[in-house]
Structure 1
Amino acid sequence: MDQTDAILFFNNLWSASNKQLVCNHCGEQISSEEALARTFAVKSQMDTDEKLSAEELPVPTLSEKILIYHRHLGCLFDATPYIAISHVWHEQVADLQYRRDKAALCADDVANIVREVPCRIYRGLTTTFPGDFEVWHDYISVPQWQPSVKSQIMEAIPQIFRQALRTVAHLSDIEARSFDAMREGASPEGVCRGISDICNSKWFSRVWTAMELTQSCDLQIMLKDFSLIEGHSLDYSLLEELFTSWDVQVANHANAHAAEQMVGMGHNLVPWQLGPIGMIRVQNLRGTRNMFASAYELLARRCVTVPRDFFYSLLGIVKTDLTEAKLSLDNREALLQVARNCIKQDDLSPLFMTPESAQREPDELTLKSDGYLDLCTFAMGCEFTFPTFRGARFDSGDPVIMTERIGEAQCFRRVDWTKGTAKVLFEFICHTLEYTGLAIDAFVETLGSRLYGQNHEKILERLSEGDRLCQMLSKLDAISGKTSDDMGDITDWIADAMGLSNKSLENDTTPLSPMEFLGGHGSTLHLCGRAALVVVKCSSCLENFLTLVALLDSGANIYGARAYRVPGLRYQFTLEGGAGFFLQDGRIVGRFIWAIPTCSCPKLEEIKIPLTPPPLPCPNNYRYGQQQQSNE
């Protein structure tokens, strides 16, 4: 094929706007206002000759012909079983897709890729799928140089993947040996590296493929050589296999850090760095609403060729009635539009996201260590229970919601996670004794429940064993006369007796001990050096209580700020009714997640929450797997 023929090929495939397309199913014309459903088959692989009326696309290098079918979207869903292919674009194809002016320079080579890859994928699928079927692959299925047609298809992609007989993820940079290592490696190191090799795949790095995975019911993996991976359940997804295998290795190594060091984390990925992709997929399959914050957290660090495509994927996950065309061209305002739409559906997660003003600019080291997980913006997990009061209204673009007014901030003390370990942090937090006195019940509720997020009754049950209660009184009495330099042994005993330094307290949200969780993930949730212990006084009964707060305005004096709790709301890493805000001068200055109720004073109050946009997406462009393992 010479360059002229190659350019003609792409013009016919990607920009044939003058064609009067007729649906291969119903025989009616396909309007330019409708989403085009274009699929294909490979002629030599078909069992019958019934479909030879389709448009033919020769693949001379493989001595094949691709048969292309055009349908209305609804007709596709009614007409034939089809398989949707999720993949990462070849760099040359992606470049030509968006740089049509380069067609004369590289069209010949790219034309071969565009024809051969879908053809080889189809051949590979025939080993598993007998009989006739068709394939949706965006090299063939999307007229890339027809913006109006393309945008309609892009909005329909979530539905295309949801309705497919199966989604096949083509991991074009992964070989069978990585899966073999993950499943039956000769050594723990081999298993860990097999897991990491799969996580390093470019397929996990992209916005579109992440969204496509979340919408897919059944998922099968195709490798670099176009062969299909066998031996895994379709609904027991690749992600579940990765996480399960990794958890086994972490347990075998006693802690996650040893396994992470083994694979050279930072140059290579481990499953948790892929973000909440599995959680969102499961919720989608169950028909459960996906939150704005979780969808943002999943997509914000992933890469996309055209930045605006981020919104197609975001809307595909949160399933609002918005379309990308209805969004503002200003990306910050577009984020607010989607957030407001979600809040109208009782998703309050946008209110708990960390605004750009409270975040540090992510550096290369932070991006590499977090992978594709945007920890700083939300990190609270999925929604466990809805708010008690629904139906937010809006006033000048800001939501007005029903809350419980807790009281006013009286004083606060900074908590800097960057200056010590979980043990040092616990010693600092034990000074809550200044506010609770020697009463064990008050101390346990404040320190154990409000600051470490644990069940008050379970801690008391543990303390009632043997003579722990008597010893506890003695230890608390001793703390009051100790300095922070000589109270380590005492606080070690208290942490162990309360079950905070071990895993004796049941917790279905994390395998870590409460101290490990607060020292690690809890640090992120409370914005590390922006955390503070705040004393709040109820304006009705004048009772004081202490809570851990993430300060969103580091320069603000939180004294006098009013605290409001959202009744009933619970995320995975919050307590029910424990999440809320500190408002001062009409803006949020702090956020809390474990401030469980302390008194029964009636205090319902409707408040206006100033809505600020989350940070703009910051893609992590680091190419994992390109460096040597740390211990090689």
Structure 2
Amino acid sequence: MLVEHISGSSDGKRKHDSLGHPDRSGEGDSISIMAQNPTIIPASSPEETKEKATPPEPRVSIYVGPDLREFPQSKLLSYIWRGGLDSDCMVCGIPFVPGLSVPIRTIGFEYSQPERHGSRLIDMTQTSLSPHPIRIYNRHLACIEKRNIDFIPVSHAWHETVAQAQDRELDNIGAAWLVYQTPVRTLVAADKRYGPVEIWHDYLSVPQWQKDVQQQLLLSLPAIYSYTQRVIMHLDDVSASHLSQAYKDLCYESFLEGLTQTIESRWFDRLWVTLEYIQSKEVLILSEEYEISDFSASQLAFRIDDIATKYIQHTGNGVFMNDVIEHGSNWARHVAWTDMEAWKSRPDKHKTFGGAIYIMGMKQCRDPRDKYISLGGMIGFVPSATDLETLGRGDSFDCFFSMALHALASGDFTPLLLNPVPNETSGSRAPWLRGYTQLADQSWDLGVCHKKAQSLDIIKDGVIQPQLESVGVVEWFERTTFEEAPEIVFTHVAIQILRSSGACPVKFCAAVDRIFTRTEEKGLYNEWEQDAATRKPTPSQSFSQYPALGQLLDSFSTLMHTSNTHSHGTMLENNTEMLDLAREMIKLLQLDKPGKQSADSRMSITHHEAQWYLDRYDQKVESLCRVRCKFCAQRSLFRLVLWGDPELEVTQVYRIPGLLFDETIPEGVGLVVTRGVPVGKMLYGTPACGCHESEGVNFGPAILGAQS
């Protein structure tokens, strides 16, 4: 990355201290110069004493091509961040022209020069730090590609001291220590592992105070990081031992400690490193001790997933997540990491607008508009001059709207499936658009896209009008968190199923699967055939269970009608006969048994999912809805996510055939729409009848300014 402002100063100070030097981040050009074997100075005049007591300032030596360039170390930032390391291209000899071409500046060692010994000055270059002088290579990227020149870009989070010096254009000796030592120590580590190599590190590779060149290099980041076979990911606040703990899984506590220390690295907070990561091929991990791990970043990310799955299967998702929280960790940061890996390795058709928002929403940057620019970069959208102008004024609507249309035009439904952002109002310009005021990770909760929809024609003749499969009209709804005792929750759900579709065991089981979804059916846990148009989930009940279930349903239905029982409250709690029948059906349907992917039962997972929305939005969002098919008039019970109250007999539910995400099941994704505006979504809504009628659903013009 080029530069980012890290909130707080503790990170920069801690890293400075770890290099073995005092924190001088508040000093200007001064540096403590010490002489070895100090001698007694005889009495003399004040002028002579001052002259003799002040040794010469250490000078930094850097080769630029064949030329040796030296300069005072107090002016290091001015020298390297302006024109001190400039030269013509060292391949073709043609000068670099700002606005047309920029130098890809790599760093290597000048091996012809032996180690330096005997210096009487303590300086930032240190003999023990840098065994050889460094050499700078300036080349056009095209020349690098033509000659097949290899180098390793470094992805790292900027230190606060360096960011402040860069922003204020001040020669700060504390920042200079870091700017010189961090790349050199990284080069030493790479050299030790791979032999003579070159690295690209923006502390030295980017002339930060040549703004035109710096901005051009910012736009060149995708090309730089995608060109090479290897990239170094520098987690400068994570020890090699903690990385090993997370990877080796020696024991539960050791794994949690390693996991926490790894994913809480400040690297995972930053914006530009995310773009660098997803452009890379193999990503190596460099620890705070400047040791390159034996395993890659992708190996570690997926290894953590596998280990976590093992513990979740043993303890349950709730227990594991609580343990993660108690260790001071945020599991969502790891989810974003694995999503970054998916973005790197999956075909383009799986890169979605919602997935990009989830990743970007967790990142921090100095300029808020950088998030929108980066979001555009992830989905292949280039902001127009007007977009950049409105972003500069703090108005993100136009740019966000343009990006959403770009995604919809490519067959990506996620702009219509976003969760609303708190305190954000929908306007007449695009009532369907959510999330434009801030890029928040909570806007997207469905994970990575495994399969795109069957029909990708979302925008037609300037109108957002996809062909969707009609599920039906909403007749009744009720918000819930499924938080009561299992037998009470199931009794209430069973009553609503019977009121919707009767006592048929087959229909009853299908409705139960839509409400209490099996985790193993979700896209996250399955490898779905990419060329298959549809895939129906496997019923959780066998045909042998239907007779016994039918008898229980007949008895339950009789009690429901004869006792005039309310579906909630004390009347239900006191109906012991119905609760006993509910317990038998729970046992028969194995709703209280641990699943294949978690020690949690289907009923407890459903409660946790509903509670997730309640915790984040401070309102009940998960809902039970009775939906009537417009073609066969069959009524069925569905579990829907509702952001607004549906208008009964007006609000309609639509399925998006083929679409599948991590947190949904096959043929279960859909939208809840009121008068052309999404008011909710469906995650587990498998077909309840044989009707598969499609219709165009109009969400409004796909032209900015035409919405009012």
The residue number in structure 2 matching 1:70 is 138
Aligned-partner Cα distance in 2 for 1:473–1:155 = 68
**Alpha-carbon distance change, 456 to 395 in structure 1, aligned in 2, over 3 angstroms:** closer
- Deviation of 1:380 after TM superposition, in Å, equals 1.1
1:37–1:72 Cα contact (<8 Å) kept = yes
Q: Write the letter of the residue equivalent to 1:535.
A: R
SS of 1:582's equivalent in the other structure is strand
- Deviation of 1:357 after TM superposition, in Å, equals 5.3
Q: Write the letter of the residue equivalent to 2:80.
A: L
Aligned-partner Cα distance in 1 for 2:75–2:154 = 26
The residue number in structure 1 matching 2:81 is 14
1:215–1:285 Cα contact (<8 Å) kept = no
2:507–2:688 Cα contact (<8 Å) kept = no
Relative to structure 2, which stretch is displaced further, 84-93 or 579-588? 579-588
C-alpha offsets along residues 149-191 of structure 1, whole Å, 9 cap, x if unaligned? Answer: 3233223223322222311111111122313433557653223
Q: Write the letter of the residue equivalent to 2:157.
A: V
**1:529 and 2:617 correspond:** no
Equivalent of 2:584 in 493, 504, 510: 493
SS of 2:631's equivalent in the other structure is coil
Structure number with greater Rg is 2
The residue number in structure 2 matching 1:243 is 305
**1:575 and 2:665 correspond:** yes
Equivalent of 1:93 in 162, 171, 182: 162
Q: Write the letter of the residue equivalent to 2:365.
A: V
- Deviation of 1:479 after TM superposition, in Å, equals 5.5
- Deviation of 1:119 after TM superposition, in Å, equals 0.6
C-alpha offsets along residues 335-358 of structure 1, whole Å, 9 cap, x if unaligned? Answer: 222221111111111110012258
The residue number in structure 2 matching 1:82 is 151
**Alpha-carbon distance change, 156 to 425 in structure 1, aligned in 2, over 3 angstroms:** farther
**1:111 and 2:171 correspond:** no
Equivalent of 1:159 in 197, 200, 223: 223
- Deviation of 1:603 after TM superposition, in Å, equals 3.5
SS of 1:443's equivalent in the other structure is helix
C-alpha offsets along residues 4-55 of structure 1, whole Å, 9 cap, x if unaligned? Answer: 95685333432449x98532223233332246343332434x4799xxxxxx
CA RMSD after TM alignment: 3.6
**Alpha-carbon distance change, 540 to 353 in structure 1, aligned in 2, over 3 angstroms:** same
Aligned-partner Cα distance in 2 for 1:159–1:294 = 22
Aligned-partner Cα distance in 1 for 2:657–2:254 = 48
SS of 2:138's equivalent in the other structure is strand
- Deviation of 1:376 after TM superposition, in Å, equals 3.3
**1:200 and 2:264 correspond:** yes
1:533–1:549 Cα contact (<8 Å) kept = yes
Taking CA–CA contacts closer than 8 Å with sequence separation of 6 or more, which of the two structures ends up with the larger relative contact order?
Answer: 1
**Alpha-carbon distance change, 246 to 413 in structure 1, aligned in 2, over 3 angstroms:** closer
SS of 1:520's equivalent in the other structure is helix
For residues 130-169 of structure 1, the aligned pairs below 5 Å read: 130-131=195-196, 133-169=197-233
Relative to structure 2, which stretch is displaced further, 191-200 or 314-323? 314-323
**Alpha-carbon distance change, 308 to 96 in structure 1, aligned in 2, over 3 angstroms:** farther
* Contiguous gaps of at least 5 residues in structure 2: 1-27, 31-70, 115-122, 426-438, 522-535, 566-570, 703-708
- Deviation of 1:121 after TM superposition, in Å, equals 0.7
Q: Write the letter of the residue equivalent to 2:638.
A: T
The residue number in structure 1 matching 2:473 is 408
Q: Write the letter of the residue equivalent to 1:533.
A: L
The residue number in structure 2 matching 1:125 is 190
Aligned-partner Cα distance in 2 for 1:241–1:456 = 28
**Alpha-carbon distance change, 545 to 336 in structure 1, aligned in 2, over 3 angstroms:** same
Aligned-partner Cα distance in 2 for 1:35–1:535 = 62
The residue number in structure 1 matching 2:358 is 297
Aligned-partner Cα distance in 1 for 2:592–2:457 = 41
Q: Write the letter of the residue equivalent to 1:39.
A: R
* Contiguous gaps of at least 5 residues in structure 1: 50-57, 361-372, 613-632
**Alpha-carbon distance change, 119 to 357 in structure 1, aligned in 2, over 3 angstroms:** closer
Aligned-partner Cα distance in 2 for 1:394–1:35 = 40
Q: Write the letter of the residue equivalent to 1:274.
A: H
Equivalent of 2:89 in 15, 19, 23: 23
- Deviation of 1:291 after TM superposition, in Å, equals 0.8
1:246–1:271 Cα contact (<8 Å) kept = no
The residue number in structure 2 matching 1:349 is 414
SS of 2:442's equivalent in the other structure is coil
- Deviation of 1:430 after TM superposition, in Å, equals 2.3
1:155–1:312 Cα contact (<8 Å) kept = no
1:192–1:259 Cα contact (<8 Å) kept = no
- Deviation of 1:123 after TM superposition, in Å, equals 0.7
The residue number in structure 1 matching 2:12 is none
The residue number in structure 2 matching 1:278 is 338
Q: Write the letter of the residue equivalent to 2:166.
A: Q
Aligned-partner Cα distance in 2 for 1:421–1:26 = 75
Aligned-partner Cα distance in 2 for 1:607–1:92 = 54
SS of 1:220's equivalent in the other structure is strand
- Deviation of 1:146 after TM superposition, in Å, equals 3.4
1:59–1:66 Cα contact (<8 Å) kept = no
**1:215 and 2:279 correspond:** yes
- Deviation of 1:97 after TM superposition, in Å, equals 2.2
1:35–1:153 Cα contact (<8 Å) kept = no
C-alpha offsets along residues 509-528 of structure 1, whole Å, 9 cap, x if unaligned? Answer: x7754323322235547976
**1:461 and 2:559 correspond:** no
SS of 1:296's equivalent in the other structure is helix
- Deviation of 1:262 after TM superposition, in Å, equals 4.2
Q: Alignment length, in residue pairs? A: 575
- Deviation of 1:542 after TM superposition, in Å, equals 2.2
For residues 225-374 of structure 1, the aligned pairs below 5 Å read: 225-230=289-294, 232=295, 234=296, 236-252=298-314, 254-262=315-323, 265=325, 268-269=328-329, 271-289=331-349, 290-320=351-381, 327=388, 328-329=390-391, 330-356=395-421
- Deviation of 1:467 after TM superposition, in Å, equals 4.7
**Normalized against structure 2, the TM-score is what?**
0.72
Aligned-partner Cα distance in 1 for 2:200–2:543 = 58
Aligned-partner Cα distance in 2 for 1:260–1:447 = 26
Equivalent of 1:33 in 67, 90, 99: 99
2:514–2:638 Cα contact (<8 Å) kept = no
Relative to structure 2, which stretch is displaced further, 289-298 or 314-323? 314-323
2:339–2:448 Cα contact (<8 Å) kept = yes
**Alpha-carbon distance change, 15 to 473 in structure 1, aligned in 2, over 3 angstroms:** farther
